[in-house]
Amino acid sequence: MLSFLITVVKLLAIILVVATIHEFGHFLASKLLKVGVDEFSIGFGPKIIQKKFKGTMYSLRWLPLGGYCAIEGEEETEENKDSETSYQKKNAFEKIIILSMGVIFNFILALVVFICVYMPGNVATTKVVSYTEDSVLAQAGLQENDIIRSINGKEMKLYSQVSNFELPSGQTDVEIEYERDGEIYKTNVSNAQKVEGKIGINFKVDEQGNPTNTIELVGAGTSSAKVGIKSGDIILSVDGISTPDAESVVNAVKDKAGKEIKVTVQRDEEVIDYNVIPESKEVFDLGVASVATTKSNISYAFIETTENIKNIVGSYVDLFTGKVSLSNMSGIVGIGEVVSKSAGILNFFFLMAMISMAVGVANILPFPPLDGGKILLVLIECITRKKVSEKVELTISYIGLGCLLLLTVFVTYKDIIRII
């Protein structure tokens, strides 16, 4: 019970901070552009305290589920249509600034948090310490302590950039530029992209930072989720082969894409067998076993932040291009599960930054009633030089809101089924 309450408090804290920062972006842009703000509220529901200052009511309310910034004239009425401080009096460029500033502040929050999280520790560099037995990089002539400088002409400064590098589907060869003893060399690497089997799970790490065979999270819509494997399960074996750690699980699965395997897990005192068909996934893999680390700095932290933003944007691209289905999405229940698994203050703030970026990316999508949808309407007005009627705008917003609510119900249902 205590663990559940702690999870709820952590989740509410993240929601409150991320939403408040978002609304503060709208608030600040409105004030700078001389647009009136009727109310800026932290939280919803009955007020705890309220104070009016320079025409704006500042409120603190009981329900810590976000907040809102009531901009004068955003919804045109008889009272504000002639006001010089109305949102409607601003030109298209100024409206877009006001509408987009919430998203920008979500990214600023993520950037600040990531810098603070990454700065105290070490980061993995591109200096290769060792290779796997079947490393395509070693086969191409690279040796221990060589430094990867670029892939296909794109500069690499951290190993996260190397591991997240993406090749077009079907392409397997890359050009690697590397440094050895101060000299720069180039080589072509074949078979850098492979099709591997994945069962959609993440593993817990022990106190030494080594991934164990205990499942931390099961991805929504994955092959593991479909058969009933849950977070907390311990994978004892795959096809009868013992799997004492995460690496042995990955090795047992990666060559079995599309082929049914037997995964034996321990759940509390019960041992259960599941028949799972690993999904096929193209994976960029140079066969690097370990790399050197170095003290982080602002530059490295910024790179890590950029990589995280690219991953989140990429997940939306995959969704809209059909590479992943709606079943792979997670809602508030799925986020709550992730929060419950996060341990330590750094992990908590890292998760807050990730959610802030995800909220920012989601809000800029051109889908009413999100900020991106409102920006789209402003652009349409600019092109047609005709204001979208209030009735049409409301209808579009209601349809969009209905679709979002249905999507929320769907992903929440899938999360609950997966977890239970």
Give the whole-number percent of the chain exceeding pLDDT 90.
Answer: 37
Residue 318: inside a domain: no
342, pLDDT greater than 80: no
For residues 222 and 130, state if they share a domain: no
For residues 108 and 15, state if they share a domain: yes
Mean pLDDT, residues 368-385: 87
Predicted pLDDT of residue 414: 61
Among candidates 301, 350, 288, which has minimal Cα distance to 158?
A: 301
Q: Which of 25-39, 59-73, 362-376 has the highest mean pLDDT?
A: 25-39
Of 277, 312, 333, which residue sits at a domain end?
277
Query: Angle at CA 337, nearest 5°, toward 332 and 342?
Result: 120
Mean pLDDT, residues 139-163: 93
Q: Cβ contacts of residue 237 below 8 Å, gap of 6+?
A: 243, 263, 264
Token pair in block for residue 21: 């920062």
For residues 272 and 287, state if they share a domain: no
Question: 410: exposed, middle or buried (C-beta count within 10 Å: 0-12, 13-18, 19+)?
Answer: middle
Global pTM?
A: 0.74
Predicted pLDDT of residue 341: 60
Mean pLDDT, residues 219-230: 83
Residue 329: inside a domain: no
For residues 127 and 48, state if they share a domain: no
For residues 111 and 218, state if they share a domain: no
- Confidence band, pLDDT 50/70/90 cuts, at residue 331: low
For residues 190 and 210, state if they share a domain: no
Lowest mean pLDDT among 20-24, 93-97, 394-398: 394-398
In whole angstroms, what separates CA 65 from the centre of its chain?
20
290, pLDDT greater than 70: yes
For residues 257 and 288, state if they share a domain: no
The count of domains in the chain is 3
Lowest mean pLDDT among 125-129, 150-154, 165-169, 268-272: 165-169
Residue 327: inside a domain: no
Instruction: Domain of residue 364: give its range.
Output: 2-118+355-419
Average pLDDT, the chain: 84
403, pLDDT greater than 80: no
